[in-house]
Amino acid sequence: MVKQICYEDVEIGSEVTPLEKIATTRMLVQYAGASGDFNPLHYEDDFARNLGVGRPIVHGLLKRAWLVNLMTDWIGSKGKLRKLSCRYRGVDYPRKMKTLDEPLDGDTWWCRGRVTRKFVEGEEYLVECEIWVENGNKEKTTTGSAVAALPLKL
Amino acid sequence: MAAFVVTDRLKQLIGHKEGPIVFKVEEGAIQRYAQAVGDSNPLHSDVEYAAGSEWGRLMAPPGFTGWPVAKGFDMFKVVEKLIQAGAPAGLLDGGVEYDFMAPIGAGDTLVAVVNLASIEGRETKMGPTMVTTIETTYTNQRGIVVLIARNTFLNF
> Could you give the angle at which helices A25-35 and B27-37 cross, rounded to 10 degrees?
160
Q: Could you tell me if residue B41 is inside a domain?
A: no
* B33 closest CA partner among B58, B74, B66: B66
Mean pLDDT of B98-104: 98
How close is the nearest chain A Cα to the Cα of B118, in Å? 17
Per-residue pLDDT tens digits for B16-42:
999 899 999 999 999 999 999 999 999
Contacts A76 to B, Cβ<8 Å: none
Q: Could you tell me if residue B70 is inside a domain?
A: yes
From the list B38, B67, B100, the residue facing A69 with the nearest CB is B38
Q: Could you tell me if residue A47 is inside a domain?
A: no
- B19 lies in which domain range? 8-26+65-155
Mean pLDDT of B66-74: 75
Per-residue pLDDT tens digits for B72-92:
667 788 888 999 999 998 888
Under the banding of pLDDT at 50, 70 and 90, the label for residue A122 is very high
From the list B39, B67, B98, the residue facing A85 with the nearest CB is B98
Q: Could you tell me if residue A71 is inside a domain?
A: yes
Quote the percentage of chain B above a pLDDT of 70.
97
A98 contact partners, CB below 8 Å, separation of at least 6: A104
pLDDT for res A52: 85
How close is the nearest chain A Cα to the Cα of B34, in Å? 9
pLDDT for res B70: 65
Q: Could you tell me if residue B58 is inside a domain?
A: no
Number of domains in chain A: 1
Under the banding of pLDDT at 50, 70 and 90, the label for residue A154 is confident
We report the CATH number of the domain holding residue A102 as 3.10.129.10
Quick one: which H or E segment has residue A31?
A: helix A25-35
We report the CATH number of the domain holding residue B116 as 3.10.129.10
> What is the distance between the alpha carbons of residues A44 and B119, in angstroms, rounded to a whole number?
33
Indicate if the pLDDT at residue B134 is higher than 90. Answer: yes
Q: How far apart are the first and last CA of chain B?
A: 12
Q: Could you tell me if residue B46 is inside a domain?
A: no
> What is the distance between the alpha carbons of residues B25 and B106, in angstroms, rounded to a whole number?
5
In terms of DSSP H, where are the helices of A51-109?
60-75
From the list B41, B68, B93, the residue facing A35 with the nearest CB is B68
Q: Could you tell me if residue B138 is inside a domain?
A: yes
pLDDT for res B90: 85
Q: Could you tell me if residue A104 is inside a domain?
A: yes
How close is the nearest chain B Cα to the Cα of A120, in Å? 17
A144, B95: Cβ pair inside 8 Å? Answer: yes
Cβ of residue B90 closer than 8 Å to a chain A Cβ: no
- A14 lies in which domain range? 7-22+59-149
In A, minimum Cα distance to B65 occurs at A35
A84, B63: Cβ pair inside 8 Å? Answer: yes
Number of domains in chain B: 1
Amino acid at B142: R
Indicate if the pLDDT at residue B71 is higher than 70. Answer: no
ipTM of model: 0.95
Under the banding of pLDDT at 50, 70 and 90, the label for residue A17 is very high
Per-residue pLDDT tens digits for A85-120:
999 999 999 999 999 999 999 999 999 999 999 999
Cβ of residue B29 closer than 8 Å to a chain A Cβ: yes
pLDDT for res B106: 98
Quote the percentage of chain A above a pLDDT of 90.
93
pTM to 2 decimals?
Answer: 0.94
